[in-house]
Amino acid sequence: MRHFLPDTANLFVWSLPMLSLLDLVRRHADAHADRFGYALTPFRGLGVVRQRHRGELQVVVQKPLIAICLQGRKRVTMGTSSFDYGPGEALVITADVPTISEITEASPVAPYYAVALELDPALLRTLSVEADLRACDTASVRIEPADPDVTDAALRLMRLLDRPAAQPVLGEALLREMHYWLMTGRHGAAIRALGAVDSHAHRIARAVALIRQDYATKLRIADLAAVTGMSESSFHLHFRAITTLSPLQFQKQLRLIEARRLMLAQGTAISHAANTVGYESVPQFTRDYARLFGTPPGKDMRDARLSA
């Protein structure tokens, strides 16, 4: 388990903007959060999160993003690695990866609040050229103290929520600024790889897109390697380095995540969900499901119905 504490020398620099950002995020989330605790904003890719209770697993295939925690704590698991983060820290994900997250500190009195921005690869590529920024492949999930420049740009974006006339004029410029600070700040090494056309991260993203598209069919490693322009051995090496999973493990998690969505959101029977996502053996599906989510599918469905 990795955990990073904020740099106490810079505590005063970022604490006041963080408090202001928390206030704006709280107001927007409390007014607009859906039943899953997420509230969109008028700005492309920017949203806020509110969770009032600990413990519930959130299983998604995460797109590249940065999430700044403002209150409460959260644990994110990707593959075999877990990351714990709290107020003043930023979670940066720079690959399309299956993640399991769990709120570890929240209550109705003091909910978990965060602001999240989906990263725009096209904008990153434009900024890489304009600012002559070099890419560097690094781990696809990082937790670092939130960068003051990034926090300040997010704060100014959130302030525009009360000024709708200014949103079309200033919103895109502030999103561009936020991406720039992300690329040049402490998170930059990992994020710049998203903006590099021929980086390993960019090439592996092509394979990930194919797996996501055809997750229920049998994987052909040779085809995936060809899409990335790598040999099969090099493809395996870089795929695991970026996603922490082998291609087969990645596909398995995609299948299980989709099956869970079918069962919990649509009430699909266990055997039908297993077959739909590509499993030929229901017992094998049940074992894999329990291994990933910590509980068998039948119990998971019963617990979800009781919770609802």
Residue 10: its pLDDT value, please?
39
**Cα-atom radius of gyration of the chain, to the nearest Å?**
20
Q: What's the confidence (pLDDT) of residue 49?
A: 94
β-strand partners of 73: 105
The helix/strand/coil state of 84 is strand
pLDDT given at position 188: 77
Give the contacts of 31 (CB within 8 A, at least 6 positions apart): 39
Per residue of the chain (308 residues), what is the pLDDT tens digit? 333 334 433 343 446 788 899 999 999 999 999 888 899 999 999 999 999 988 766 767 667 889 999 999 999 887 667 889 999 999 888 777 777 888 999 999 999 999 999 988 888 878 877 766 665 555 567 788 888 999 999 999 999 999 999 999 999 999 999 999 988 887 777 677 665 555 677 788 888 888 888 888 888 999 999 998 999 999 998 888 777 788 998 899 889 988 988 998 888 999 999 999 999 999 999 999 998 888 899 888 887 777 65
For the chain, give the number of residues. 308
Residue 236 and residue 224: Cα distance in Å, rounded? Answer: 10
**SS3 of residue 239 by DSSP:** helix
Closest by CA to 161, choosing from 5, 10, 32, 6, is: 32
Task: Give the E-state strand segments of 5-64 in sequence order.
Answer: 38-40, 46-51, 57-62
Q: At residue 296, what is the residue type?
A: P
For residue 134, the 8-state DSSP code is P
pLDDT reported for residue 15: 65
What pLDDT, on a 0 to 100 scale, did the predictor assign at position 30? Answer: 95
Q: Does this model's pTM top 0.85?
A: no
